[in-house]
Chain A
Amino acid sequence: MSSAVSLQQASHTGHDVDHGHEHHQSFISKYIFSQDHKTIAKQFLITGIIWAIIGGLFSVLFRLQLGFPDTTFPFLEDLLGHWAKGGKISPEFYYALVTMHGTILVFFVLTAGLSGTFANFLIPLQIGARDMASPLLNMLSYWFFFLASVIMMSSLFTQTGPASGGWTIYPPLSALGDASMGSKIGMDLWLMAMAMFIISSLLGGLNYITTILNMRTKGMSMTRLPLTIWALFFTAVLGVLSFPVLFSGVILLLFDRHLGTSFFLSDIVVAGKILPNEGGSAILFQHLFWFLGHPEVYIIILPTMGIASEVMSINARKPIFGYMAMVASLFAICILAFLVWAHHMFVTGMNPFVGSVFVLLTLLIAVPSAIKVFNWLTTLWRGNIRFTPGMLFSIGFVSMFISGGLTGIFLGNSALDIHLHDTYFNIAHFHIVMGVAGMFGMFAGIYHWFPKMFGRYLNNTLAYIHFWVTMVGAYFIFWPMYYEGLAGMPRRYYDYANWESFKMFGGLNEFISVVAIIVFATQLLFVVNFFYSIWKGRKVTTLNPWNANTLEWTTPIKPGHGNWVGEIPEVHRWPYDYSKDGQDFIPQDVPVGENETRH
């Protein structure tokens, strides 16, 4: 706190001298402990990409087991040692892989990697601020995330392996050290890492909220904010109010593990021995977890909704359709996201009457979601579309959001969910609507803002290959899972070939695994493109390569700390004046003309 105020003063005086031009900073303060929001954004992005590669690799490993349960792969033993004796992944390690895949992708990639990157990068640039409200806390936010990453990573190298109770860490697997291999030190490290992660996301979120409220430039009223900023704002609100509840759950779980309490444990028999724990409830943990868990899925999807809106409006050369409706539906989603958590728990033994209220609230989310989809489609309608890679990924995002979101309505009916819960139907639902749509939104953002981040372009040919293979591949991977789930194939089984009733899915599982490997390889193409282009990509030579309206394109091609040379521009209009009054685009800092039509 103390440093926050003094720093703010320092940065306010400092900014005026430090417009853009290089001054002599050591490597450490410029690239490592940097307080420049743009550098912090890149740190989040690159850490996120590293995590995405690891998490993706894990999925390839367990897809090998799922697709080829009877085949051995000797190279796995070389790679994984005792976890894959004889070239076959052990059941314990299979569960560890699934758990870490979920944890990494949900929290480390699509939360920190996504919000961390785009909130940090876009908020000050698009609202017209020199930096975040508190650059120091912002830097700490990254370093807490880094700490969380190190702890989580170290759990991969423990003797008993990382956590293996699923990304939702339900007790008793997570509460009893003896319950499974992954319930030992791996689980403790998971909980510690998550505690650090929550602190990081809190520091970040508080900063995003206050920056958007307090630091907007003159004229940047709330209704002139780009939709990215609105989306990031609600994302931060979701995070700030729901992560603490998981924090409580984590603390209670640590108590259960190490201090002899029974918050989540009762009447448990392990190997014929009755444990002394009584009076707790495993369902209580699920309530606490999903109170975060459901908002969490919107923490993932809201930023990508913002990115897609922005990118689609720019590349359709049309104002976004229904700006206020978009903001209102973001708001509605934000509120509803807090009220529906128990739709993940219909079959746990929860009070069925309360469950029916949750059904009602859950189905309500379909309304704002549908409004958004309608508005994206109408934005494209009769637009002058430029199919840039960012645009393609945004359109792909909408497609995925529709085909994954619609099945949420099936799942939201508790009667149907009795059949569908914990089947591959659920897996397909959330991978399409959150996993793939989230990644698509993130890719759209990266392709779109890469020129601003690094002053160079990504390679377009590689980008198109990346898009088409991923788009088609993602549907090939996840669409069949709907059918598997409807036919009753449960999730989290190690070896489907062991069950007579699931043998018939063998061929399909094999097909999915092959496509998954291809799609994973294509992502590596993106990674190569990314790192190659940072240093060797085609240089950006114009200030505003996409002819966009928002303020970030009024900064120098490679803005320094402080973003603008000279005064911060004033804002006179909303960011969506495309194809207006015979002009292709009118940036936000252009004053309103005398006889200009009003939107």
Chain B
Amino acid sequence: MSQHTISPEITFAPDHLGGTKRIWKTFYLLSILTIFELAIGLTIYNIHKGAHPNASLVLAFKGLVCILTLAKAFYIVSVFMHLGDEIRNMIMTIVVPLALFIWFVIAFLSDGNSWKNLRNTDAGSKPDTHLVAPAAKEPGQKD
């Protein structure tokens, strides 16, 4: 390839062979995943419209969308951003620190959940009335 050296730190000319086929393939994949996500979103919508929405079914669908989103993120990063083509060392320095998000998410969300429980039960001193479906509430009752 007729590339000049980009900088002296690069000791081997990077391999940029290959056509645009992979790019388009990834595009189709992302599109399909997105359509799937939208379908699930609408399914959740329809479940909600029904008389007795099944909470665990909704939760399962939401979990599924999250997984699909992670898949999309993976393809964007690895193909569009070419991280998949980099040297393994570099991939690791970028992917491994992202693991910090695991505890970040768990700690924050579980604490949020706990504030709700504390508030609903007056810090454990009364039963949680919110465990029933929210639709059963009186007008204007504040959460």
Contacts and interface: CB of A to CB of B under 8 A. Distances in A.
A315 B79 CA distance: 52
| Consensus secondary structure, chain B interface | helix
B9 A354 contact: no
Which of B7, B8, B107, B108 neighbours the largest number of chain A CB atoms within 10 Å of its CB? B107
Interface in B55-77: none
Interface in B82-114: 97, 100, 103-104, 107-108, 110-114
A299 to B, nearest CB: 16
B100 A283 contact: no
A8 B7 CA distance: 8
Given A12-B8, A283-B115, A349-B118, A241 B110 contact: no
Interface string A78-118: 00000000000000000000000000000000000000000
A357 B102 CA distance: 14
Given A287-B108, A342-B107, A281 B115 contact: yes
A324 interface: no
Interface in A190-223: 214-215
B103 A339 contact: yes
A357 B9 CA distance: 43
Contacts of B112: 281, 284
Given A338-B100, A342-B107, A350 B114 contact: yes
Contacts of A287: 107-108, 111
Contacts of B97: 237, 241
Contacts of A353: 110, 114
A214 B11 CA distance: 11
A291 interface: yes
A354 B114 contact: yes
B104 A291 contact: yes
Contacts of B7: 5, 8-9, 12
Nearest to A245: B104
A351 B111 CA distance: 5
A358 B104 CA distance: 12
Nearest to B6: A5
Interface size class of B (residues with CB under 8 A): 10 to 19
Contacts of B103: 338-339
| Consensus secondary structure, chain A interface | helix
Contacts of A357: 107
Contact of B110 (A237, A284, A349, A354): A354
A86 to B, nearest CB: 45
Which of B108, B110, B111 neighbours the largest number of chain A CB atoms within 10 Å of its CB? B111
A284 B115 CA distance: 10
Nearest to B107: A354
B10 to A, nearest CB: 9
B9 A214 contact: yes
Contacts of B108: 284, 287
Interface in A235-264: 237, 241
Contacts of B107: 287, 342, 354, 357-358
Contacts of A342: 107, 111
Nearest to A215: B9
A404 B104 CA distance: 28
Given A241-B100, A339-B103, A283 B111 contact: yes
Interface string B6-20: 111100000000000
Given A12-B8, A215-B9, A350 B111 contact: yes
Nearest to B102: A339
B100 A351 contact: no
Contacts of A5: 6-7
20 contacts: A5-B6, A5-B7, A9-B7, A12-B7, A12-B8, A214-B9, A237-B97, A281-B112, A283-B115, A284-B112, A287-B107, A287-B108, A291-B104, A338-B100, A349-B118, A350-B111, A351-B111, A351-B115, A354-B107, A358-B107
Interface of A: 5, 8-9, 12, 214-215, 237, 241, 281, 283-284, 287, 291, 338-339, 342, 349-351, 353-354, 357-358
6 closest A-B pairs by CB: A351-B114, A214-B9, A351-B111, A338-B100, A339-B103, A354-B110
Given A9-B7, A284-B112, A338-B103, 8 more contacts: A5-B6, A12-B8, A281-B112, A339-B100, A350-B111, A354-B107, A357-B107, A358-B107
